[in-house]
Structure 1
Amino acid sequence: MTERNWAGNLAYGARRFARPESVDELAELVAATAHDGTRMRALGSRHSFNRIADTEGLAIETGGLPALVELDEGARTVRVSAGLRYGELAEALERDGWALANLASLPHISVGGAVATGTHGSGDALGSLAAAVAALELVTADGSLRVLRRGDPDFDGAVVALGALGVVTALELDVEPTYEVAQSVFERLPLDAVLADLDAVTGLAASTSLFTTWRDPDVIDQLWLKRRADAAASDAVPAALAAMGASASTVKRHPLPDFSAEHCTEQLGMPGPWFERLPHFKLAFTPSNGDELQSEFLVPRARAAEALRVVRSLATSIAPLLQVCEIRTVAADELWLSAAYGRETVGIHFTWLPDQPAVEALLPTLQAALAPLEARPHWGKLFDVAEAAERMPQLYPRWHDFAGLRASLDPEGVFRNELLERLGL
């Protein structure tokens, strides 16, 4: 049977798949494969929509490694296996009274894969999932296990590393005491109110997501606010949104129009555990629509209003291919290949209909329009690689430093693949 990614839009080209059950077995496998000159890539939950995790050689599935959740309360960190899904980690942390600061919209994704691609949730003061990494362990091309910790010279280059440095086996993540979140949805927020003062909108909650189909280019269809429970009871937020022209939803909503909200996390202001509110979707169900493609472009927060105006100008081309567009914020970090490197960031995410030829035909136009605004494509989503490749050294000031780090850890290029080569790595 052909091996495919989560969305089903991609058939992997690997000649062989392996699922090592220990780090020792993985190290022996990597060393032997590299000795033969065969290329290899690590494969997590298969949620990437492009060929970032693909190879013509050996695909190494990290989900077979022993599941680790080792809490260090004194250091306020947890050591976790790279193949574990965030939803599984969250449940284990909650049992011990601990939490992560943020989660992505889907709890179904693996820790290692999400970190390696700079995947994020939302929040003005919240970094990407990679920003929580305090240390990582990876098997490099010679089969040795290397540990890098925050503050080490190469650490900032090794966290969001696109799988180009080796196979990450475990990570240490920052944790904090558990907390509750209340989630509320507001509807029909005029886009002009967002453009006039984005900070006023995204600052209404610890985590804020704006959803629109661009069918009405002047309206944000839904605004999802995830507020820490100690701030959730305030009347100021509904009043502020009412003044902007939005109204509170009185029923539970799905981000996609006309979809049942059964699979979504609880709303209507009901407080609950952090891991049951920060994601949009429940771990036990198929996330989002399931039959979709995704792209995302991340721009400097200072230029977000310009970027939204650009997208609005293309609404007639975007809307027929779109299921929903989500707008989120990410705090700046210092991770070399993070989309939030060196700047406060706004992500503009597109959940497309499953028509890849039509989406790929539109992407060059969309990217060209956003390029003057320093838009960085999400590493795990669909984007026009040829257009992006020309801009990588300008988009990422440490691009050449990362290329040097990759060459030092993988001098023979066994962890490279076609997509990395097209990007200039």
Structure 2
Amino acid sequence: MTVAATNWAGNITFSAEGFHQPCSVAELRRIVAGSRSLRVLGTGHSFNAIADTTGDLVSVAGLPRAVELDERAGTVTVSAGMRYGELVEVLDRAGFALPNLGSLPHISVAGACATGTHGSGVANGSLATAVRAVELVTADGDLVTIDRGAAEFPGSVVALGALGVVTRLTLDTVPAFELRQWVYEGLPTAALRERFEEILAAGYSVSLFTSWRTDRIDQVWVKRQGGPDAPASWHGAVLADGPRHPVPGQPPESCTQQLGVPGRWYARLPHFRLDFTPSSGDELQSEYFVARTDAVRAFDALDAVRERISPVLQIGEIRTVAADGLWLSPAYERDCVAFHFTWHPDAVAVAEAVRTVEEALSPFDARPHWGKVFSTAPEVVRESYPRWDDFRRLLGEFDPAGKFRNEFVARHFRAGQR
């Protein structure tokens, strides 16, 4: 069956010789067992060739939808191809929530977890930190489940699709809750430098949006549980007098409700609504994680080259991610600040801007987001991950013939590295 020939952004045209969208796990197992080379496609929201293959490209979107609540354990088991926006209302009606969500609800659960995708909040880990168990089809077509506590579990969640085809995930939940969201405008960068930790910890989730063109942060999105109304001014920033979109010139109707109106967790944690095209829709993206202890120095390093990156930029976002223990997570064992860039869709200009960003952040051991545009050399990326060799051994155990190793994976995990 034909699936998408390109990724969501349209900058990657898949090279697969076969496209498949199985309707059952049994059919998926037959496809995997009979394939010489295979990669998995979620919703296609990656901006590099991580999902590409010259063999078989498999979409899990056609697998039977599953939302199985275990109220006693406080978990939910979901089918891998389900989008977060399709899951959240089911959870909420039963009185449950996920601890955090990404900026857009359009992404698949499995794809987001496999690449270390995240939301924001100093106490909030990436979306993968909610995973309690992974069910996947291995290279020979077997169906296996890896539970938290298993020795290989920390390498099996953020796994880049390299261990097998994930079919189901079991996620931890929390009690459902409400949030209020405000947007501030014109935060002086001097105030950010002086009170970085305080500002980023001012809500359950906080995001800073900057064009990297002036000495002010364009917008600060603050999402809070309860508490008083937001003051009209805050650290030199002014409360927005109406709804806003973080990308200049885009209509705010596509964004989640602001102005402090109370709403359910799933209607406030994302920036964008499921029934609209997220962000600008015509873009490329990059993102880099540095230790939160280096946040101000990293900000200053980027600010020093802003004239070289701002002409290619639609908007930048700065947010926080709590440390975790997942081997290939960009937040592995360190609380992070993530610098995100939404670029204009000009691949040549973006490539030059990306090199500028990477050079500026090189003193801070910056880890690139696995699913976005980056050019950091594999040997540099490798040195940033203490459990790199452990993951490479796991690859050898799960996929000794390299069925799931496309060019992207092989480039970073070649045999004999280190």
TM-score band by shorter chain is over 0.9
1:295-314 equivalences under 5 Å are 295-314=286-305
Mapped to 2, the partners of 1:365 and 1:170 lie a distance apart of 39
1:132-151 equivalences under 5 Å are 132-151=130-149
Aligned match of 1:69 in 67, 70, 76?
A: 67
Match of 2:331 in 1: 340
Mapped to 1, the partners of 2:357 and 2:258 lie a distance apart of 33
Aligned match of 1:405 in 394, 405, 411?
A: 394
Which piece of structure 1 moves more, 360-369 or 166-175?
360-369
Amino acid at match of 1:220: I
Offset, 1:146: 1.1
DSSP-derived class of the 1:182 partner: strand
Offset, 1:157: 0.5
Residues 7 and 45 of structure 2 are in contact (CA less than 8 Å); yes or no, is this contact kept in structure 1?
Answer: yes
Amino acid at match of 2:220: L
Match of 1:32 in 2: 34
Match of 1:192 in 2: 190
Match of 2:150 in 1: 152
Offset, 1:197: 2.0
Q: Unmatched 5+ residue regions in structure 2?
A: none
Mapped to 2, the partners of 1:91 and 1:48 lie a distance apart of 25
Match of 1:10 in 2: 12
Mapped to 2, the partners of 1:66 and 1:87 lie a distance apart of 17
Amino acid at match of 2:385: Y
Mapped to 1, the partners of 2:356 and 2:249 lie a distance apart of 29
Aligned match of 2:22 in 20, 25, 35?
A: 20
Residues 305 and 360 of structure 2 are in contact (CA less than 8 Å); yes or no, is this contact kept in structure 1?
Answer: no
Mapped to 1, the partners of 2:91 and 2:145 lie a distance apart of 23
1:118-267 equivalences under 5 Å are 118-216=116-214, 218-228=215-225, 230-231=226-227, 233=228, 238=231, 242=234, 244-267=235-258
Aligned match of 1:324 in 301, 312, 315?
A: 315
Q: Deviations over 1:260-287 (max 9, x none)?
A: 1010000000000111110000001111
Q: Deviations over 1:162-210 (max 9, x none)?
A: 0000000000011111111100000100111111121110111000000
Mapped to 2, the partners of 1:195 and 1:81 lie a distance apart of 43
Mapped to 2, the partners of 1:138 and 1:99 lie a distance apart of 24
Amino acid at match of 1:152: A
Offset, 1:419: 1.0
Amino acid at match of 1:325: G
Q: Deviations over 1:284-331 (max 9, x none)?
A: 111110000000001000001111111101100111000000000000
Offset, 1:14: 0.6
Q: CA RMSD in A?
A: 1.2
Match of 2:408 in 1: 419
Offset, 1:226: 0.6
Mapped to 2, the partners of 1:363 and 1:286 lie a distance apart of 25
DSSP-derived class of the 1:298 partner: strand
Offset, 1:234: 5.0
DSSP-derived class of the 2:302 partner: helix
Amino acid at match of 1:418: E
Residues 243 and 257 of structure 2 are in contact (CA less than 8 Å); yes or no, is this contact kept in structure 1?
Answer: yes
Mapped to 2, the partners of 1:369 and 1:30 lie a distance apart of 42
Mapped to 1, the partners of 2:307 and 2:178 lie a distance apart of 40
Residues 337 and 399 of structure 1 are in contact (CA less than 8 Å); yes or no, is this contact kept in structure 2?
Answer: yes
Match of 2:350 in 1: 359
Q: Deviations over 1:116-143 (max 9, x none)?
A: 0000000000000000001110100011
DSSP-derived class of the 1:391 partner: helix
Residues 77 and 169 of structure 2 are in contact (CA less than 8 Å); yes or no, is this contact kept in structure 1?
Answer: yes
DSSP-derived class of the 2:50 partner: coil
Offset, 1:369: 1.9
DSSP-derived class of the 2:276 partner: coil
Offset, 1:9: 1.1
Q: Deviations over 1:49-91 (max 9, x none)?
A: 0000110100010101111100001100000011000000101
Match of 1:59 in 2: 57
Percent identity over paired residues:
54
Amino acid at match of 2:218: D
Does residue 291 (structure 1) correspond to residue 282 (structure 2)? The answer is yes
Q: Count the aligned residue pairs.
A: 412
Offset, 1:393: 2.8
Amino acid at match of 2:382: P
Q: Unmatched 5+ residue regions in structure 1?
A: none
DSSP-derived class of the 2:373 partner: coil
Mapped to 2, the partners of 1:267 and 1:59 lie a distance apart of 40
Mapped to 2, the partners of 1:92 and 1:7 lie a distance apart of 29
- Regions of 4+ moved over 6 Å: none
Amino acid at match of 2:383: Q
Q: Deviations over 1:400-421 (max 9, x none)?
A: 1000001110000000011112
Mapped to 1, the partners of 2:248 and 2:40 lie a distance apart of 35
Residues 392 and 399 of structure 1 are in contact (CA less than 8 Å); yes or no, is this contact kept in structure 2?
Answer: no
Aligned match of 1:281 in 252, 268, 272?
A: 272
DSSP-derived class of the 1:282 partner: coil
Match of 1:48 in 2: 46
1:86-125 equivalences under 5 Å are 86-125=84-123
Residues 321 and 336 of structure 2 are in contact (CA less than 8 Å); yes or no, is this contact kept in structure 1?
Answer: yes
